[in-house]
Amino acid sequence: MTIRRLWLPLLFIAMTVGGLYARKKPRTSWLDEPFTKWNKGQVAQLFNNSPWARSRDYRGQTTGEHGSFTQGVMGTSGNATLGVNTVTYSFTARLFSSEPIREAYVRMLQILNHYDTMPPAQQRIFDAKVDGLLHADVSKEVVVTLFYGTNDPQSERDLRQWFATQTADTLRQNAYLYTSSAGQIQLIKYFPAQGSGGLGARFIYPRLSNGKPILQPGDSRMRFQLYVPQVGQTIYLDFKPSEMMYKGQLSY
């Protein structure tokens, strides 16, 4: 599935604004409305804290010039009391192959480009540009995007450099999806953040295992896990399949 590089500077602003809503729970009532009716706050909730987008913070206490640290998990609330030398690593995994996340992405682009007030002719041009994304064929792949960052400039550079230099081969032994039905699912493709549409690095997994969907309605969880050397441990981001119903179907 290709993510077009549309309006990226504005999208980065959208992600910053979205952080204001990251800790709020989404209201399911508006999910039943057409995505073209969603407002900025609702889109941000889907991006940052919804059944299809999970965030988690990790922290390490830096000591000395080269920044050795001890690891700890902050969880999703981010309410831990931090010292001045604490490095915090934040990760948000999004199921970009899911319909609601793709619709939220397009809706944010609409909002930023004042789609609702465009003349019909301009709307048609816009619609043509995003049609491939909205109607992408995801029958064979599950796409996980990982947005990452840290509050320390040097750690940020190291983190971005590491993600930028990885490949599917180098990540295959430590970047997995896991579901109750299929077990551990191996990575098949990887794309660094550059060119990924402002959503971070892309991890792509097969949708079928032994001829069956990797995720079943009765599964208790879907987990994305990745060992990140800069954090010094494996990060885990869990999705709940029971909450991932959209338009009457399990969407991922």
- Give the mean pLDDT of 208-224: 92
| Lowest-pLDDT choice from 28-42, 107-121, 166-180 | 28-42
How many other CB atoms are found less than 10 A from the CB of residue 28? 11
Residue corresponding to tokens 């549309």 = 6
pLDDT of residue 20: 40
Helical spans, DSSP H, in 166-214: 168-171
Question: Measured on CA atoms in the order 10, 16, 18, 20, is the torsion positive or negative?
Answer: negative
Residue 85 Cα distances to 72, 156, 165, 203, 229, angstroms: 14, 15, 27, 32, 19
Residue 226 Cα distances to 103, 144, 163, 232, angstroms: 26, 12, 11, 11
CA 112 – CA 126 distance, rounded (Å): 12
Q: pLDDT tens digits for 87-104?
A: 999 999 999 999 999 999
Tokens of 110: 């609409």
Please give the mean pLDDT across all residues of the chain. 83
Q: What is the DSSP letter of 50?
A: B
Tell me the pairing of strands 141-150 and 201-206: antiparallel
pLDDT value at 45 more than 80? yes
